[in-house]
Amino acid sequence: MPKVTTLGQFIIEKQADFPYAKGELSRLLRDIAIAAKIVNREVNKAGLMDILGQAGSTNIQGESQQKLDIFANEQFISALTSGGECCIVASEENEDIIIIDPKDRKAGKYVVAIDPLDGSSNIDVNVPVGTIFSIYRRKDFDTPPGLCDVLQKGTEQVAAGYIIYGSSTMLVYTTGRGVNGFTLDPSIGEFCLSHPGMRVPEDGTIYSINEGYYMHFPKGVKQYIKYCQEEDRATKRPYTSRYIGSMVADIHRNLIKGGIFIYPYTAATPSGKLRLVYECNPMAFIIEQAGGRATNGDKRILTIEVEELHQRTPVFIGSKNMVIHAEEFMKEAIELSFAYDENQGFPFAVD
């Protein structure tokens, strides 16, 4: 029988690769994995229990919350607040950060930003959904933890990952030394190393974008889509269009097979739609560590200044050469009716 390496064993073996190798990060990742197993159990029961459908409430984004959104949010917050390694939890589902012990200056050393259930509206139709997480180290240990510890650029992440709940459940993460994937073995209840040293192909033949908004896309994105659809045997076009509507699922596929995921700005959403802190920064860290590229169409995602907890951004992420090519289309098509934001690095609609 081949040797099976569990997530816990792997983290311990690789602990020396982490600059703050004292075990806290290992325990923090363990806490996230435990919560993921609980959420996975409920996802797999969807249809058998009253966990499907809308909860009748909205989150800070103004989006209708699914029952499973609330359940997943509660499970991850519970695991992270009781584990002892985390001083702040920032969730996409909550308006404000959760400071675990606001008076304790010696509170946990880490901050976790999390999207508890990405693509949750798909759960009703049995489409893969996921959890995205990002881990930062506290900036100042002489003062109580606060919002400034969360509003760090993506380059300051010490770890990031996602869990995809699909035909099998996988946890994929990086600590800045490559990307590794672990598949949950339900027979032993452990995440086991199944995809060591994951690398995204430099080129791909898949583009992922919600083409239902085509008429609202900037000119550069429209031109890139037309390029993807044109026939050219030398570049293996036309490319295949694949869009699931769950960022985790789309990027997971492209990470393995190669491809590009695009969620651009539009006139209605001039700052983009996806969240920088909870979705784009962690995914960008993972994809870059796997050899890919992640920008907002002009600027590297991980270098964008974080000014607000629920800040949004456009995103172009995936195979390196495909993202570069899409950026070229964007640069060539900047229209005079758009201005340029020096901080965010992308053109935005002006009245």
- The annotation status of 121 as a binding-site residue, yes or no, is yes
CATH number for the domain running over 206-349: 3.40.190.80
Q: Locate the domains of the chain by residue range.
A: 7-195, 206-349
Using 50, 70 and 90 to split pLDDT, how confident is the model at 351?
A: very low
- The annotation status of 50 as a binding-site residue, yes or no, is no
- The annotation status of 273 as a binding-site residue, yes or no, is yes
Angle at 98 between CA 95 and CA 104, to 5 degrees: 150
Beta 206-208 vs 240-241: how paired, if at all? parallel
- Check whether the bond before 238 is cis (ω within 30° of 0): yes
Q: pTM here?
A: 0.90
- The annotation status of 118 as a binding-site residue, yes or no, is yes
Q: What share of the chain is helix, strand, coil (3-state, %, to 5)?
A: 35, 25, 40
Give pLDDT, residue 343. Answer: 57
- The annotation status of 57 as a binding-site residue, yes or no, is no
- The annotation status of 120 as a binding-site residue, yes or no, is yes
- The annotation status of 130 as a binding-site residue, yes or no, is no
Pairwise CA distance, residues 86 & 76, whole Å:
12
Residues with Cβ within 8 Å of residue 349, at least 6 apart in sequence: 265, 266, 267, 270, 337, 338
**In the block, which residue shows the tokens 């992640």?**
294
Structure token digits, residue 206 = 């898949």
Residues belonging to the chain: 351
- The annotation status of 92 as a binding-site residue, yes or no, is yes
Q: Could you tell me which CATH class the domain 7-195 is placed in?
A: alpha beta
Q: Are 326 and 316 in contact (CB under 8 A)?
A: yes
Give pLDDT, residue 154. Answer: 97
- The annotation status of 117 as a binding-site residue, yes or no, is yes
pLDDT tens-place string over residues 107-151: 788 999 999 999 877 777 778 899 999 999 998 888 888 999 999
Residue 336 scores a pLDDT above 70: no
